Structure formats: structure tokens, C-alpha cells
A and B are shown apart, each in its own frame.
Chain A
């Protein structure tokens, strides 16, 4: 059990670091969507199903969609 949680936390931190390193903004947005999904799993393991549902529906679907629409109206590559 503790190994599953450690593995998930390590993947979450690696993808958060990747979101700061990528130059292509679409890749950074997808990395932040992965952070949100793993946070939803950790919310469920902390016995909070309401919060897990809210984070999965709002953080992983709607925030990513709003980011992708905003990036397609402005520049795509960070200079």
C-alpha cells in the first residue's frame, strides 16, 4: 500500500517538474492535467470521495479545456 502511494507521489512530482521544463505549452498543459488526475487518486486514498469527484471533473477536464482554447488563441511556443 505504501509503495503504491510512494510511486504515485513520485510520478506526480516528476510530471510537475516536467510542466516547468517543457518549451511547448501544449505539453506543459498535458503535464499539469496529469498532476490533477493523480491528485484525484490521492484524494480517494485519503477517504474523501466527494473531493476526488470534484477534482477529477473540474481539474482534469474543464481546466485543461480552457487552457487549450486559450493557447490556441495566443502563441504556442514559449520563447
Chain B
């Protein structure tokens, strides 16, 4: 129970990273590979935020009532992940536009067949 309490977030984050990596390595359809890329991105963001967590901490936002003197969690990883999420969606949109263009040109989305064809 103590082990689970300490490491459950790491297990979740690394589980997502490895599943995303498996999809990118093994699958053949291009859109399935892009879905794996999106899952990989979510796993890495989850890992970054769970590094900055402090036990019994609160969100790094000040309130009008100075209620308790608890610690605040680290604000720097949250700023980095905010940037990373938006860049992730931009890369995904560009990758999907390239996939649509590839489908118009080759009429298939199977990566083995595209690799075997000549110009």
C-alpha cells in the first residue's frame, strides 16, 4: 500500500509512454501511428507534472483570505507543460495534413506499401 501510494502516478505515466512507443514501432497504418504519438505526448506531460508535486501541497495561486500556511507545489513544471500541450496539438495538426496529402498521392496509408513504391 505504501509502495502504491508512492509510485502510482509514475506507473501511469510510464505505462502510457511505453504503450505509445509500442504503437509507433509496430503499427502499419499512418493514422494509428499518429494516435500513438498523441498518447506518448500525454504520458510525458503527466510525468513532468508528477515530478513537481509536493506532499500535502496546494495549487500555486494566492487567495484573498490568508487561510493556512501550507506549502505550494512547484510552479515551474506547470509552466513548461502548458507550453508542451499547445505545441503537441500544433505538431499533430501538421502531421495529419501531411497524412491527407500522402493519401491523395499514393491512394493507400499502409507504410510498408508506401516504402516499397518508387517515385
A contact set with B: CB distance below 8 Å: 2, 5-6, 9, 12-13, 16-17, 19-20, 25, 28-29, 32, 35-36, 39, 42-43, 46-51, 54-55, 58-59, 62-63, 66-67, 70-71, 73-75, 78-79
- A53 to B, closest residue via Cβ: B82
**Chain B contact residues: helix, strand, loop or mixed:** helix
| B59 CB, min distance to chain A CBs, angstroms | 5
Given the known interface contacts A74-B100, A75-B109, the answer about A2 and B4 at a Cβ–Cβ threshold of 8 Å is yes
Interface residues on B, range: 35 or more
Cross-chain contact B9 with A48 (CB below 8 angstroms): no
Find the A residue at minimum CB distance from B93.
A66
Give bound CA distance, A49 to B58, whole Å. Answer: 10
Q: Which among A16, A48, A71 is the interface contact of B31 at CB below 8 angstroms?
A: A71
Q: Is the CB of B12 within 8 A of A42?
A: yes
Bound complex: CA A63 to CA B45 (Å): 16
CA distance A79 to B108 in the complex (A): 10
Chain B, Cβ-Cβ closest to A52: B49
Q: Is B114 in the interface zone, CB < 8 Å from A?
A: no
In the complex with contacts A28-B35, A46-B50, A74-B103 CB distance below 8 A: yes
